[in-house]
Amino acid sequence: MKVFTLPLFLLLNVTVTWGQQATQSIAEAEITTTTQEMDEHFRCGFSGGDHEEHHHFESWIKRKKEELSEGNRTDEILTIPVIFHIIHFGEAVGTGTNLSSDFIEAQLEQANNDLRKTLGTSGHNADSRGADTRIELRPATYDSDYNILDEPGINRIHSGDYGFSTTTTSYSKSFINNTIKPATQWNPNDYLNIWVCKLSGILGFGQFPDISGTTLEGVNLNGTASTDGLAIEYRAIGSTERPNPNATGAYSPYGLGRTLTHELGHFLGLRHIWGDGDCSVDDYCNDTPVSDGANYGCPTTHQSCGTLDMVRNYMDYTYDNCMNIFTHDQKARMRTVLYNSSRRVELLSSDKADPPIPLPVELSTFNVRRVGKDAHIRWETSSEYNNARFILSKSDDGINFMELHTEEGRSNSSTPLSYDFIDPKLPMGTTYYKLSQIDLDGRITELGTRSLEISSNTIITMYPNPCKGVLNIEVDESIKNKDCTISIFDMTGRQVHSEENAIGQLIRKIDISHLESGFYILRYNYDNRTAFKKFNKI
């Protein structure tokens, strides 16, 4: 349990419960972060290791660390997919509890700098005990259905949509565990779930790993999957480079993102650096000095138990700008949990943070137009990846399609490409064209459907227009053998010309040189249908 003491000017009398064992009345308000195992017992807090389960866990992790060392898996970079559930009250993005993606990105960068001891950042230290854990957080790119997230690693949740609260009331740890988490959690085998919201009097809390499913005789420590993850006060999300502007007053020392780093340590099996007890209690890391309690602020010269306290360790209670070290033993412990603990080891094989698979084809254009009596189909791609071929299908009802044409793809290309196909002699009515693409591995992707209508006005073509002498009337092949009458009217409705068209004649030439200049309407009657065309006599 991580307790941050507020300034003394906020003195009041409150009661804080530690685990399930002790209740202590204190004379100052505290911001507390709690790590708990959500089964029958808490396994972290101020109990000082008295729970029998603590000893079982330590026995298990010691054995697993030895196995890990023998397997020489200490240098592999381990990545954890992360989804931030931002619980907000309906504010605009970037306002209040609805943090902008900039702060989520800053928080991830801070956590990774801390985990990797990144040179040139606030996560670096020159202490020989300081370790690069070679663990990284990676924002999720996909949701559970493999839809690409609009904001990587972010799931925004309006509290009112779930009935949590429509006001700015803060949430208790109990409400988050019993109500918010089960209703909003994504599969904890695929994601590290991090809930970001307005917490009631605490900076954050996380769930300790369990050892269910192991061969540890007589022990079954089943952590509750529906509550697994971290909960972080929204004012504690940020970084040393991008401090959270909401972290004012009592929260001002904690807006640099180290609460998440601390709680992540608990999530991966780390205890508080003083072991939650006096000098006789251990945190099970040989390279962290024994201490008799938590440190606050940044007392770099403070000694206890005969040694200098490691106040800059992420698992102490010092200010955010004081923390900057995980040790080699802490690294080994975290990696052991990741390789062995249920719901932790599964995260290593999750693909939810993998880079988005490139679209097989980026289609920039797909058009169908009438050219004379034919349909001219053209599609253009801006890039192609793993593309075997295109299939063009045709339908007269938009439902039942038959394959019309196959066009070989270019496999892989990053340059624009174009494809053309002509479908001749279209019938009257509407024709539908569907374009599909097939990968080299056989996967089919539909790229779109287009339609082209051939009406009575589109089966005759008139040219030139404007016309001075002879007007050409070209008819579609489908009506060339139908009787027809051609009439021309001026704009007052007076008929100025009429004639019968010969059967089988595709082009009829009409001399209009005798007509006065101006606009006219040509009427073409055939098979109880009528088409109208307007032309300009010059």
Active site residue 263: yes
Residue by residue, DSSP assigns 454-467 as E-TTTSEEEESSSB
User: What region, left, alpha or beta, does residue 343 occupy, with left being phi > 0 and alpha being psi -120 to 50 degrees?
Assistant: left
Q: From residue 302, how far is each of 23, 258, 501 by CA, in Å?
A: 28, 21, 109
Distance separating alpha carbons of residues 305 and 131, to the nearest angstrom: 24
Longest Cα–Cα distance of the chain, Å, equals: 119
- Three-state secondary structure call for residue 233: strand
CA distances from 304 to 276, 290, 294, 383 (A): 14, 8, 10, 64
* Integer Cα distance of 297 and 259 in angstroms: 14
Active site residue: 37, 53, 109, 263, which one?
263
Sheet arrangement for strand 529-537: 495-501, 484-490, 518-526, 529-537
What are the b/e assignments for 483-520, b being 16+ CB within 10 Å? ebebebbbeeeeeebeeebeeeeeebebebeeeeeeeb
CA 75 from centre of chain = 29
Q: Do the beta carbons of residue 256 and residue 321 sit within 8 Å?
A: yes
Is the CA virtual torsion 203, 49, 343, 117 positive or negative?
positive
Query: Rounded to an integer, what is the distance from CA 466 to the centroid of its chain?
Result: 57
| Residues noted as catalytic | 263
